[in-house]
Amino acid sequence: MSFLADYGYIGLFFVVSVVFALTTVLIPQILTALGVIPSKPSPAKSATYECGMDTIGKSWVQFNFRYYFLALLFLVFDIETVFLYPWAVAFNKLGLFGFVEMVIFVGILVVAYLYAWKKKAFEWK
Amino acid sequence: MGLAISFWLLAAAAVGSALAVVLLRNVFRAALLLISCFFAIAGLFVTLGADFLAMVQVLVYVGAIAVLLLLAIMLTREAATGSPFSRWRIGGAIASVALLAAMIAVFRATPWKVADQSVVLKPTTAELGARLLTPESGFVLPFEIASVLLLAAVLGAIVLVKEK
């Protein structure tokens, strides 16, 4: 059971996040129900709030295609993390050899990063 | 006992949110429920003692695939109205039932090796890292080739997007 006990922290984190989300949603509801907060809705109050400006058009807009490329890059470097994670956990056992291996691994991916940079993939036009 | 209960709860959550993904009309909500399905599957991996797999599930599927999916929806014009293919209900139902039948048949025909109850669950990540990166286990070259594969993926993405 000690292995599963390690998940206690994640479980605790999960419970706290759920309770936090629920309380922030429920506090105004409860206070309204108790009559602490007066309920006087008006068109101005129920308008969609966006940084104090009136919203223009629909919220459904077509995004620029270039965002998708950034998402693809993110996916690739996310996969890199999948390899980095077990390496970091086992780091103390691996010694210098494991370190050199990971430097080569990351070095090859730095080439990808530099190529993307060189090709101006991160610039907006 | 608690493990079995959480397994079945998470399995029900996964199946429920997967069903909602198929049945919801709004594709954006369907994508959000797909994320909850991914989370439930990560929880299933935890109950099965596969901690590394659970982490990868959250990192790759919830973190990256879901972002890619949501971006693809946002890039698509009038994605909210759904695709014309969603009208092919009967054909889709027949195909998915056939797939389910095939999977159940394979599942039943496979001789599963069941571990005896005395197996102690222990963290797998450190073990995996050691096996992957020590020269004795022989995974050093595949490990480095994996980074070349990722490099090729980046180059492919750049070629696709930049050089039209």
Q: What is the CATH number of the domain that holds B33?
A: 1.20.120.1200
CB–CB contact B148 A82 (8 Å)? no
Residue pair A112/A73 in contact (Cβ under 8 Å)? The answer is no
Confidence of residue B6 (pLDDT cuts 50, 70, 90): confident
Three-class DSSP labels, A84-97: HHHHHHCHHHHHHH
Measured distance CA(B161)–CA(B83) in Å, rounded: 24
> Cβ contacts (< 8 Å) between A74 and chain B: which residues?
64, 67
Q: Is B133 on the interface with A (CB under 8 A)?
A: yes
Domain ranges of chain A: 1-40, 56-125
Residue B15 domain-assigned (yes or no) = yes
Tell me the pLDDT tens digit for each residue of A80-100: 999 999 999 888 888 888 899
Please indicate, yes or no, if residue B143 is contained in any of the structural domains.
Answer: yes
Decide if the complex's ipTM is over 0.90: no
> B37 pLDDT band (50/70/90 cuts)?
very high
Question: Per-residue pLDDT averaged across A97-119, rounded?
Answer: 90
Coil vs helix vs strand at A50: strand
Judge contact between B73 and B79, C-beta under 8 A: yes
Domain that holds residue B48: 1-82
Whether the CB of B59 is below 8 Å from some CB of chain A: the reply is yes
Helix axes B140-162, A66-89, angle to 10 degrees: 170
Residue ranges of B 86-115 with Cβ closer than 8 A to chain A: none
Q: Which of B33, B64, B82 is the last residue of a domain?
A: B82
Question: Which two tokens mark A79?
Answer: 């996969």
Residue B100 lies in a domain: no
Domain boundary, last residue among B33, B50, B82: B82
Q: Say if pTM beats, i.e. exceeds, 0.90.
A: no
Cα B32 to Cα A22: distance, rounded to the nearest angstrom: 19
Domain boundary among B57, B82, B107: B82
In CATH terms, A56-125 corresponds, of 3.40.50.720, 1.10.760.10, 1.20.58.1610, 3.30.300.130, to: 1.20.58.1610
**Chain A nearest-CA residue for B135:** A97
Q: Is B145 on the interface with A (CB under 8 A)?
A: no
Confidence check: pLDDT of B122 > 70: yes
Shortest CB distance from B150 goes to which of A7, A97, A109? A109
Q: What does the pLDDT average to over A22-50?
A: 84
The per-residue pLDDT of chain A, averaged, comes to 83
**Average pLDDT in the A8-21 region?**
90
| Chain A residue whose CA is closest to B140 | A101
Within a domain: residue B98?
no
Please give the structure tokens belonging to residue B93. 């139902």
Query: Helical H runs in chain B?
Result: 2-23, 27-47, 51-56, 66-75, 89-109, 125-133, 140-162
Option in A65, A86, A112 nearest B125 (CB):
A86
Contact A71 B130 (CB under 8 A): no
Domains held by chain B: number: 2
Q: Average of pLDDT values for A60-67?
A: 70
* CA distance to partner chain A, nearest, from residue B108 (Å): 30
State the pLDDT at residue B125: 85
Backbone phi and psi for residue A50, each to the nearest 5 degrees, phi listed first: -140, 90
pLDDT above 60 (res B21): yes
Q: How far is B10 from chain A (nearest CA, A)?
A: 14
Percentage of chain B modeled with pLDDT above 90: 39
CA distance to partner chain A, nearest, from residue B63 (Å): 8
Residue B15 shares a structural domain with residue B70: yes
pLDDT-based confidence at residue A108 (cuts at 50, 70, 90) = very high
> Which residues, including other chains, have CB under 8 Å from residue B52's CB and lie 6 or more apart?
A85, A86, B124, B125, B128
Q: Provide the pLDDT confidence category of residue B79 given band limits of 50, 70 and 90.
A: low
**From CA B145, how far away is CA B132, in angstroms rounded?**
13
Whether B52 is covered by a domain: the verdict is yes
Angle at B19 between CA B17 and CA B25, to 5 degrees: 100
Taking CB atoms and an 8 Å cutoff, what residues of chain B touch A115?
A: 154-155, 158
Region B58-81 average pLDDT: 82
Kindly state whether B71 is in contact with chain A, defined as any CB-CB distance less than 8 angstroms.
yes
